[in-house]
Structure 1
């Protein structure tokens, strides 16, 4: 959210350089002392910049892409990240452990150098964007219902009251935040329990997990890089969001009643729809705020997602362990996965209630909304 009042590129470079440091440690040595040093530095850097790279990248894209093209742009950005995940997973299969960390550190440094040399600072000019939600000054005056001059960029760190005001000022943004919370709660629960579940049910090994992750990555990459840019101009992002959540519900339901070890591989087809959820959510949130508040809006959504990811393992890991044990109240090994499907269903129902933002031309702020 600091991207609201500082240069996005400066903050992105700072976050990336900070997160690169801990990779260098294991690239240099993997002894016990270096291992603990890695985790200490990893924890400290996560407190500062965990998720901020993605958040700032989204804000940077929002600064340079028109509203009607943002869903496709966010989808392509997510698709490239998924492609990188696939390439990294493949590389890890063929590289030695020591070489894996060295390559990871080298690629991170190359990315930081690329940003420093080729990316220019984004300076939002407010064209084709909605007006800011939060007031940035009280000395603005209106003529003929329009702003007489552009609102200045905020110069102070947003407070909790600002974030609460951000959530209260737009119904659609608040609904997007609710969808983000429950969808991330379900995703975090799935990540925390699915490997344990598959190992207990079908004796999956690390190679099975790697194959499954590759299939998921390939399906997600194809969807975000090919299908989303084709569908986004013709299908409302709210509908794409609902379709993606329906895919998540179907995925969880099939996992919960999986009767053979090929079922998890078959469910990877739903990844084509599931990966549509994050870009659509980010695009909807982006359109609810002005050019000076893109970092704040994306940071707010990222914070909600992080909070959901923290509490989801605390809920679903014990639940999974209980129903895979002999002390289960009733025989249903996939009950925790079924509950994850119900959580996704809450997000789906909330997404159905969402309505797209009105046309940009109708987003005019009156004097009362600025001064009040």
Structure 2
């Protein structure tokens, strides 16, 4: 119980950070269209640039996520969290100042550069922090609570966007991102210190008043933490369950990124949605996800188990994507959003399954690897689905089916669902793989 205060500060940090980043999601489509194709409902340039952005960020994250996880095992979660939470502020501040075409392009470039490190790293490090502080039997439930906190922030952020102008949205988002970084720096205690390298990465060589004289040795050690192909293969071979979870994670993220890159442009072209309708849709999704993760998931995990709950989540994820693709009226999109009650189970279950396959000192590495798998999907998905979306929303479509690309996204999710059915519950091995690390009481 001594560690609960540390988790409460983590939850508040994640809430503030997600509140800031989620605020801009309903507004960014209108801002992009206004900057690139003013006065139009369909813009292939915006779709292609969005796809290129996702692919480039995914390529950078593919390299950075395993590195971030490894470094957090060495230097602690808090030190690594500070970097992405600070970088997140920069692109938000640009659009808070102006949303003209030149400022949009400046935002676009800086968003790519910062998100190569930031995208997914806050979530990855938060999961590792929870794994440090929560016993085996409660991991799935607490992972679900962490996701529920993120969903709650998503609801609050998108709901606030409903009542703000585009200018005010980005100004408030930049302020909240700054607040989250300051709060984390002041209040969040670190959860792990490795005796093999006890100097924090941003401490200037000091720990408890002791100066480390071997700065060059520290830099060499830092480069040794970069994961190799052999490290990744060793993780995949560590257990059949881990490799199956990696496959599920890839196809699940492939579908999620494809949907995220296509859905808003599809709804704008098909039903003329704007910022307010996007916010309404996201609020429904967020409320359903928050209720499910905070209330339903802690009850259902002991009953069904993580593997079965993962399959349930993936089934409903596939179903809601197919509903979007065949929507014949705007209200169908709102009905599909309610499926978030069930599809939000998938990500916490995957992370909990992975956490139980490695030792205490490998939590950052394992979570970083799964995030890297997701980042690889981030590269592949926009390259496939963004051109498909642009084609079927244009007048050049080979046949009339505006939601065809989203239907294909649903098929990718179906592959993840089928693979999840093959996973079998095994005894957790993380308790048997104890490395040389000490946990600080939060």
Superposed pair shares fold, TM > 0.5 = yes
Can you give the 5+ residue segments of structure 2 that lack an aligned partner in the other structure? 1-68, 195-222, 435-442
Pick one of 334, 353, 356 that aligns with 1:284. Answer: 353
How big is the shift at 1:200? 3.6
3-state SS of the aligned residue for 1:94?
coil
Correspondent of 1:213 among 275, 282, 285? 282
CA distance in 2 between counterparts of 1:359 and 1:14 reads 32
Q: Quick check: 2:162–2:280 contact (8 Å CA) kept in 1?
A: no
Q: Out of 5, 11, 17, which is 2:86 matched to?
A: 17
- Relative to structure 1, the CA distance from residue 339 to residue 40 in structure 2 (aligned partners, 3 Å threshold; closer, same or farther) is closer
The answer as to 2:171 corresponding to 1:102 is yes
Q: CA deviation at 1:292?
A: 1.0
Tell me which residue corresponds to 1:121: 190
Give the TM-score of the pair, scaled to structure 1: 0.82
Deviation at 1:69, TM superposition (A): 0.7
How far apart in 2 are the matches of 1:236 and 1:251?
23
Q: 1:160 — aligned with what?
A: 229
Query: Quick one: which of 335, 344, 356 aligns to 2:425?
Result: 356
**In the alignment, which residue of structure 1 is the partner of 2:369?**
300
- Residue aligned with 2:88, SS: helix
Q: How does 1:1-372 map to 2 (within 5 A)?
A: 1=69, 2-27=71-96, 35-123=104-192, 156-325=225-394, 327-360=396-429, 363=432
1: CA distance, partners of 2:192 / 2:138: 18
How far the C-alpha of 1:180 sits from its partner, in A, is 0.8
Deviation at 1:169, TM superposition (A): 1.8
Judged with a 3 Å threshold, the aligned counterparts in structure 2 of structure 1 residues 248 and 34 are, in CA distance, closer, same or farther, namely: closer
CA distance in structure 1 between the aligned counterparts of 2:244 and 2:275, rounded to whole angstroms:
38
- For residues 89 and 273 of structure 2, the distance between their equivalents in structure 1, rounded to whole angstroms, comes to 32
CA displacement at 1:30 relative to structure 2: 5.5
Deviations 1:170-215 (A, max 9, x none): 2111111111111111111212222333334333333322211111
What secondary structure is seen at the aligned counterpart in 2 of 1:121? Answer: coil
Instruction: Tell me how far 1:25 sits from its aligned partner.
Output: 4.0
Compute the RMSD of aligned alpha carbons: 2.6
**Matched position secondary structure for 2:303:** coil
Match of 2:62 in 1: none
Distance across 2 between alignment mates of 1:325 and 1:123:
52
Q: Whole-Å Cα distance in 2 between the matches of residues 216 and 42 of structure 1?
A: 25
Which runs of no fewer than 5 residues in structure 1 stay unpaired?
Answer: 126-153, 366-372
Matched positions, count: 338
